[in-house]
Structure 1
Amino acid sequence: MKNTIKVMFLAVTLMCTAFTMAQSTVTGTVMDADLNSPLPTASVVEKGTTNGTTSDFDGNFTLKTKSPSGVIEISYVGYGKISMPFSGDTDLGNLSLISNNSLDEIVIVGSGVIDLASGRKTPVAVSTIKAAEIQEKAGNWDLPEVLKSTPSVQNVKGGGFGDGQMFLRGFDQTNTAFLLNGQPINGMEDGKMYWSNWSGVMDVANAIQVQRGLGASKLAISSVGGTVNIVTKTIDRKEGGFVQQMIGNDDYTKTTAYFSTGVNEKGWSFSGLLGHWQGDGYVDYTAGQGQTYFFSVGYQPNEKNAFNFLLTGAPQWHAAAGRGSIGTFLENGRKYNDWNESGVNSSNTIDKGGIYPGGRNIYHKPVANLSWDYTINDNSSLSTVLYGSLGRGAFASAIINDGVGYARGSYNNHNWFGLVSNYNNKISETLNLNFGADVRTYNGVHFRGVNEFIGGQTSLSANSTFLGDYTITDTYGGINPWGMVFNPNTDANQRLGYNYEETITYYGVFGQLEYSKDAVSAFFQGAISNQDHQVTNEYSYDVATDSDKVSNFGFNVKAGAAYAINNYNKVFVNAGYYSRQPFHDNLYDNVRNSVDLIVPSVENEKITGLEAGYQFGSDKISANFNVYHTIWDNRTDPSNNGENQESATYESYQTQGIKQVHSGVELEVFTRPFNNLKVNGFLSLGDWKYEGNASRRTFDGDGNEIGTQTEIDVDGLNVGGAAKVTGGINLDYEFLPRFSFDTAFNWYNDQHSEGSFSKDAPPLSLPSYTTVDAGLSYKMLVGENGSNSLQFRVNVNNLFDEVYLESVFGSTEASINDSENYKGINKSNNGRFGYGRTWNASIRYNF
């Protein structure tokens, strides 16, 4: 009996030992293939069993298997499943999942200088829109229209093609940093963004990431509202392309073709895109047309090095829309253009068949960059991007007397070159170091000239202090943006009105140290920079005259920490302080006609940002909740009275010493109750006010100071321009295989008018409004094994034709006579109504 017990005990021991030895430990990190970012809560299952786990917030997982070898299946809702074999204890490394909506396997080059939030474990308030959604919902719109379904973003269209602007947390796009593959693209002189110059970016974008507030950027860009990162196509891993045709309201048409060779055996790859668009414009007399081109060549000689050259541009012209009174729009309809009849100089201006109905923007801004990604070793890498752009263009209007005259262009040309480099070093398992440099040089050339002569006129008499009396006989560019680039007017004796150049040199260094261990991560980031400014005038002086050179030093510091409570819950807090140099245009007095500095000089702006957040993620629902508080002190505001600059009553203002405080909360929720249904939503609640006193100066249309107000009380006034309360619900339902319907509901409330810094005439409270957009998509598989596809897409914006005031410029209070008001707003105020129902439809062949 004793022997039997011993044998049984030995057998059980051996069985337990065998079972224990049969188990293995499998580890890995689940990543998004497109953005190279972690996928939290991904499902990791041992095939053929119910044994599984999920990835944590950093995409990491550890699984104790039941068998010594087998297959691990990794899946995530909305992504393709992958299977990986294992044998014994195995580290699978990074496992990239490809989105079901992704049409291309892409490679991000220059990744070290593209500050995507995924590059840092300590989170920020961020929303990411990927290629498939951009492709479907962009239609014939600019970038801000696609971003309006994210928290604290509002898009104001502006009337003409590419004339809209975006607000982020109540800050206009002048104070939001826009980066194209890591390259800053805001105007160097004033921070402005002109979407007409970037009309092709939607065609080549792989992803767009909106980082609200402090963001993850390491550059010394000191954005106030946030940072928008645009990541374009560069290298495709496989051969393929597409051809697309789109049509839309008001005779809009767009044709686009793209092809990529993929990466060949020798490491070379080529891709290119060409497109053409044209249309009459939603607003009367705002026709436009343009082209898009994109060319990329990549070379990967070995595993350590990758090079890529990219060239892209979007030459275009479009007629502009004037800003009229609310009453005028109500009388004539939302499509009315108040430049239809009177133009710039009334009787001295002609329509010329719609070519210059009041003003035409003509511009071409080719951008090129060369990137080098160098993997030094397993722990360190270097990314460098060298870039340049040559902007050429004008805002042109026709000046005519008795049928004879010329088209006068106000030209803004630039030569812009820069370099961004970033070194990354994994010091240890817990510490990671980044540091690098950002250098830019910019030369802006501004003058007036003749676009073309009209009605038989062949010359124009002119006079300047620099030249005395002279005659202009040359034309520059016409209405062709390609001609702007290849016909560079460099002769001072062929310019009129004003002629000056601005030179800006920017150089900065940045660094970041991040700590990460288990559930805790923290970072410290800093940047310093210097800007040199100088103006040269060749019009208002006897000889070419240079201004004094101005040098301004600035810096920013940011720090934050995060704690992952478990695989589903994470909290973070970030803080930052910026000392931001003033824009170039705020440094000089009457820059068109003099080289004098403003006295007293404009000092650095001071920005303090605080934010905290909570993230929740599971396989069916995820949510982000953010709280922010931004203090923007000592800022300078350039503004105007909303009239055309050529008008005799036009005035511009420079208000200094402004302090404004923006606080708010944001909630963003993503759900997938069923595999074929996505329901997402967001809600933003903000409170944006001015504090204290400021001072304001007044100028006429030629830049001459005509009045000074030493101090104005702005304390408690509302910040106008954007809605403080926004919300939205987005639904995407695939009711049949590859046949889906989507809709987006957006609500805007608590918005105020622009153009007032006075308690005697405070900003007006505007009526709230809602819009509903809808889309229908179908994808037909064709070719051998369904390797190719035909995609059909229809978008309808403002489906229910809502009539709403998108923006108001003015502060005239409502009349006691209600017939003189519109929804509580005096009709004499200038304003702009949002577009009515619009649509576009496209067919796309992917191969």
Structure 2
Amino acid sequence: MKTLLIAVIAVFLLPVFASAQFTISGSVSEKTKQTSLPGATISLKNTSIGSSSNANGAYQLKNVKAGKYVLTVSFVGYETQHKTIEVNGDQQIDFKLEPSAYLADEVIVMATRATEKSGTTYKNVSKSDIEANNFGQDLPFIINNTPGVVVTSDAGTGVGYTGIRIRGSDATRVNVTVNGIPLNDSESQGSFWVNMPDFASSVESIQIQRGVGTSTNGAGAFGGSLNIQTSAPGLKPYAEVNSTYGSFNTLKNTVKIGTGLIDNKFSFDGRLSRIQSDGYVDRGASLLKSYFLSGAYHGKTDLLRINVFSGSEKTYQSWNGVPESKLRGDVQGINDYIERNGITGADAANLLTADNRKYNSFLYRDQNDNYWQDHYQVLYAKQFNDKFSFNGALHYTYGRGYYEEFKAGQKFADYGLENPIINGAPVLTTDLVRRRWLNNNFYGATYSFNYKASSQLNFTVGGAYNQYRGQHYGQINWSQISSNLNNSDHYYDGDGNKNDFNIYAKVSYSPVEKLNLFADLQYRRLNYDITGKDNDLLPLNIHDKLNFFNPKLGASYFVNPKSNIYASLSIANKEGNRDDYVNANAGTLPHPERLYNVEAGYRIKDAQYSAGVNVYGMFYKDQLVVTGKLSDVGASIRQNVPNSSRIGVEFDGSYTLSRHFLINANAALSRNKIKDFSEFIFNYDTNKEDTYNYTNTNISFSPDAVLFGELVYKPFTSFAVALQSKYVSKQYMDNTQNEGRKLNGYWVNNVRLGYDFSFKGVKNMNIGLLINNILDKKYESNGYTYGSYSGGNRVTENFYFPQAGTNLLLSLNVKF
């Protein structure tokens, strides 16, 4: 970090020779009707200089240095225009845009995306940003450098099972949609990017909304939301080959092809990807495959697109982490851990001899997680006239898979099996290999209608109805001693069925030119039924019906064409996940969570810089948290805590120092507290749970500070090197704020290089290099803890997920 700070200071102290700077101004209007087009995007190609047209269609680009530029203007529903200009003085350039010959793909996500007028805190990630950071790691790692985001990887490399937190909230509280269609699993509520390998290669843009955000489809957003739009078609035929190779035998191969627009109406695009990695931790290997196919009809006033994409993953399990004594190299502590947990034979030898940071407790050859997931989307958009439009979608997702594990000394009775009789005596236990399956079907429809009454008033009505049908079952596919079960039989069967309906209405109104008011009202109803048996063979008969009302109000005031201030108040409600229901004590149901979210901020954008600063308050009622409480059958359960909160300030900015140097930076500072918290610890001496009460403790996995800085150096147009630095402060692994159960803060530095060139027959060739953790920092980005009392002493078991030291990924991308 010292190196980075010195470099940044040196750049600021570089002699700057003043050069003349000019202003480009003008207006953007519709060609045939001569009406102004407010909100059009105006930019100078290959620079950070850009702006938007105001309510009268006027725009202004200041501080433009003398030189030759390409001035670009775009607006949804109209043909993009480019003008090559020579700047040697102030200029006025007007644009008259023609309606597009076809409806643009952006309309598909407009209903659920935030704008400067919606009073929402958000970050847009463009296709070029995604491409620059896409070296084959999962999507969370590609957006890791955005405000308030913390990512982790079970295998330590960003390939395989990865996780993301926004403002301290985990993936189950981050709503994800793809083209407006919910992605989160309906029961666990998580988004599993390992099931969608290299999906980033088929993404056009991502909007990250922090906090509640705007109304969308699927489970409520309690920390943030990811609104993803898949790739729009190229205008001309193309082919692309991308390969990445790097540390830990990480290899990514991607092929993309597209027809461009055929007869200005049809387009077809496809992608095929394969990723493999040995992982940083022992046996943390992944083999991931995916494809993406899309075909579309582009009419002048309507768009029909069909997407089919699928992913498969085979990942060796590394989700147990490393015991603290092993991580610290504490030999006595390791032996104590072995004795406490009855570890013997090869497992004990593995614990004693493996690398302290790469240790993986699993040794069975096929201890893999296997999953296949197929997505089908039919998207339709219709522009009836210049005021009224519609878009809707039908979707279906089919998932199926299992994780396989070796289990020693298992009781036949625990699997509902008869004890076999050998030599006249019953045998009670056996070693076995089991598979736990999840097969699910998710399908439904989404829609939205938009009516633009005038340039000051806009209405949107939308919603969705989705159904989820999940089958949970287990099989024993090998047993050292056989009993009365065939390999294909199920030793448990359970079902999870959820029906989810929502409808929302949004209105945006500008009573005066600079002020915009925003209202967003959503009603959501769901039915959730869990039946059958769980994996402990306990009967399940759970039924819940919930109704949620989620209102949002906001205002945005434009101080001038370059800057605005905004504020909003939102309420969101969210149901518990499957485990909350299944592990709850008999006859009880988890209370839904409620969030009151206040956001306020200031945004400014000029030719040389852009910046935004915001404050927020997230006040929870009945938030579900881990307390150590056990259910009647000994399962860990989350409990509702009456009052908890997250209060913070965030900054996100970019500054062009010169034609060669650019600085990007963001910061998230927060205070995350539970007002009153009770911890439950099982006491083996009394065979009861002991209760310990705490006040005003930190919420687990919620760092007080997340900081990011990037210095980009472009010695010439086609080459760039970026020095990136990210700091995450300490995080507690439970809600007691105990210093003995925490993740230490870490500061990690990366370097990214990219060089573009072309030659005959090749549109562009890019060579990229990503060097992660250049200072070889030893750090852990995730973990968990549990404890008990025995012999009058508390025993705490901490586990950590170490991340890789210095490692690199080298990529070659060729576009034809």
Which TM-score bucket, shorter chain as reference?
A: 0.7 to 0.9
2:552 partner SS = strand
8 Å contact from structure 1 (residues 41, 618) kept in 2: no
Tell me, in whole angstroms, the C-alpha distance in 2 between the residues paired with 1:612 and 1:221. Answer: 24
Q: Which amino acid aligns with 1:830?
A: F
Q: Once structures 1 and 2 are overlaid, which stretch shifts more, 509-518 or 366-375?
A: 509-518
Q: CA deviation at 1:345?
A: 8.4
8 Å contact from structure 1 (residues 110, 383) kept in 2: yes
2:254 to 253, 256, 273: 256
1:133 partner SS = helix
1:803 partner SS = coil
Q: How does 1:370-381 map to 2 (within 5 A)?
A: 370-381=378-389
1:82 partner SS = strand
Write the deviation string for residues 88-141 of structure 1: whole angstroms up to 9, x where unpaired.
997624899xxxxxxxx99526625662223x6234222222222222323132
Tell me, in whole angstroms, the C-alpha distance in 1 between the residues paired with 2:381 and 2:185. Answer: 27
Q: Once structures 1 and 2 are overlaid, which stretch shifts more, 677-686 or 523-532?
A: 677-686
Q: Which amino acid aligns with 1:139?
A: F
Tell me, in whole angstroms, the C-alpha distance in 2 between the residues paired with 1:696 and 1:584. Answer: 22
1:276 to 274, 277, 294: 274
Q: CA deviation at 1:722?
A: 3.5
Tell me, in whole angstroms, the C-alpha distance in 2 between the residues paired with 1:640 and 1:617. Answer: 48
Q: 1:305 to 1:339 in 2, by over 3 A?
A: farther
Q: 1:154 to 1:381 in 2, by over 3 A?
A: same
Q: Which amino acid aligns with 1:144?
A: P
Q: What corresponds to 1:6 in structure 2?
A: none
Q: 1:296 to 1:699 in 2, by over 3 A?
A: farther
Unaligned runs of 5+ in 1: 1-23, 31-35, 45-51, 64-71, 97-104, 462-469, 475-493, 591-596, 643-648, 701-705, 814-825
1:473 aligns with 2:453: no
1:562 aligns with 2:556: yes
Q: CA deviation at 1:440?
A: 0.9
Write the deviation string for residues 673-709 of structure 1: whole angstroms up to 9, x where unpaired.
2234321111211000101356879899xxxxx9777
1:501 aligns with 2:506: no
CA RMSD between the two structures: 4.4
2:625 partner SS = strand
Write the deviation string for residues 235-294 of structure 1: whole angstroms up to 9, x where unpaired.
333211201111111111111100001121162211111111212111111111021111
Q: CA deviation at 1:796?
A: 0.6
Q: CA deviation at 1:812?
A: 8.7
Q: Once structures 1 and 2 are overlaid, which stretch shifts more, 195-204 or 438-447?
A: 195-204
Tell me, in whole angstroms, the C-alpha distance in 1 between the residues paired with 2:275 and 2:315. Answer: 11
1:691 to 664, 675, 700: 675
8 Å contact from structure 1 (residues 122, 561) kept in 2: yes
8 Å contact from structure 1 (residues 656, 694) kept in 2: no
Q: 1:415 to 1:712 in 2, by over 3 A?
A: farther
1:736 aligns with 2:716: yes
Q: Which amino acid aligns with 1:565?
A: V
1:586 aligns with 2:580: yes
Percent of aligned positions with the same letter in both sequences? 18
1:168 to 143, 155, 166: 166
Q: 1:111 to 1:712 in 2, by over 3 A?
A: farther
Q: CA deviation at 1:400?
A: 6.4
8 Å contact from structure 2 (residues 494, 540) kept in 1: no
Q: CA deviation at 1:169?
A: 0.9
Q: What corresponds to 1:33 in structure 2?
A: none
Q: What corresponds to 1:132 in structure 2?
A: 128
Q: 1:149 to 1:541 in 2, by over 3 A?
A: closer
1:364 to 357, 372, 376: 372
Q: 1:472 to 1:417 in 2, by over 3 A?
A: same
Q: What corresponds to 2:657 in structure 1?
A: 673
Q: How does 1:35-434 map to 2 (within 5 A)?
A: 38=39, 42=43, 55-56=52-53, 60-61=57-58, 74=71, 82-83=82-83, 92-93=96-97, 107-108=104-105, 111-112=108-109, 115-118=112-115, 121-159=117-155, 161-219=159-217, 221-265=219-263, 267-300=265-298, 302-321=299-318, 322-331=320-329, 356=364, 359-399=367-407, 407-434=433-460
Q: What corresponds to 2:462 in structure 1?
A: 436
Q: Which amino acid aligns with 2:508?
A: E
Tell me, in whole angstroms, the C-alpha distance in 2 between the residues paired with 1:442 and 1:546. Answer: 18
1:792 aligns with 2:760: no
Write the deviation string for residues 163-209 of structure 1: whole angstroms up to 9, x where unpaired.
22111111112111111121111121131222211223122122222
1:145 partner SS = helix
Tell me, in whole angstroms, the C-alpha distance in 2 between the residues paired with 1:305 and 1:169. Answer: 39
Q: CA deviation at 1:28?
A: 3.7
Q: 1:548 to 1:775 in 2, by over 3 A?
A: closer
Q: What corresponds to 2:646 in structure 1?
A: 662
Tell me, in whole angstroms, the C-alpha distance in 2 between the residues paired with 1:660 and 1:236. Answer: 48
Tell me, in whole angstroms, the C-alpha distance in 2 between the residues paired with 1:353 and 1:528. Answer: 46
Tell me, in whole angstroms, the C-alpha distance in 2 between the residues paired with 1:29 and 1:156. Answer: 48
Tell me, in whole angstroms, the C-alpha distance in 2 between the residues paired with 1:193 and 1:223. Answer: 13
Alignment size in residue pairs: 721
Q: What corresponds to 1:631 in structure 2?
A: 619
Q: CA deviation at 1:316?
A: 0.8
Q: Which amino acid aligns with 1:683?
A: A
1:718 aligns with 2:698: yes
Q: CA deviation at 1:59?
A: 9.8
8 Å contact from structure 1 (residues 356, 396) kept in 2: no
Q: CA deviation at 1:588?
A: 3.9
Q: CA deviation at 1:230?
A: 1.9
Q: Which amino acid aligns with 1:425?
A: Y
Q: 1:555 to 1:577 in 2, by over 3 A?
A: same
Q: What corresponds to 2:34 in structure 1?
A: none
8 Å contact from structure 1 (residues 41, 568) kept in 2: no
Q: 1:727 to 1:353 in 2, by over 3 A?
A: closer
8 Å contact from structure 1 (residues 56, 566) kept in 2: no
2:485 partner SS = strand
Tell me, in whole angstroms, the C-alpha distance in 2 between the residues paired with 1:794 and 1:247. Answer: 10
Q: TM-score, normalized by length of structure 1?
A: 0.76
Q: CA deviation at 1:425?
A: 0.5
1:835 to 795, 804, 807: 804
2:142 partner SS = helix
Q: What corresponds to 1:27 in structure 2?
A: 28
Write the deviation string for residues 143-181 of structure 1: whole angstroms up to 9, x where unpaired.
222222111111122236432211111111211111112
2:454 partner SS = coil
Q: How does 1:444-463 map to 2 (within 5 A)?
A: 444-450=470-476, 452-453=477-478, 460-461=482-483
Q: Which amino acid aligns with 1:554?
A: F
Write the deviation string for residues 776-815 of structure 1: whole angstroms up to 9, x where unpaired.
111121225xx612211111110110112323434899xx
1:682 to 658, 666, 669: 666
1:572 aligns with 2:599: no
Tell me, in whole angstroms, the C-alpha distance in 2 between the residues paired with 1:747 and 1:106. Answer: 43
Q: 1:400 to 1:805 in 2, by over 3 A?
A: closer
8 Å contact from structure 2 (residues 103, 302) kept in 1: no
Q: CA deviation at 1:473?
A: 3.2
Q: Once structures 1 and 2 are overlaid, which stretch shifts more, 183-192 or 837-846?
A: 183-192
Q: What corresponds to 1:487 in structure 2?
A: none
1:753 aligns with 2:713: no
Q: 1:324 to 1:589 in 2, by over 3 A?
A: closer
8 Å contact from structure 1 (residues 763, 811) kept in 2: no
Q: 1:423 to 1:344 in 2, by over 3 A?
A: farther
Higher Cα Rg, which structure: 1
8 Å contact from structure 1 (residues 390, 414) kept in 2: yes
Tell me, in whole angstroms, the C-alpha distance in 2 between the residues paired with 1:775 and 1:511. Answer: 43
Tell me, in whole angstroms, the C-alpha distance in 1 between the residues paired with 2:93 and 2:517. Answer: 31
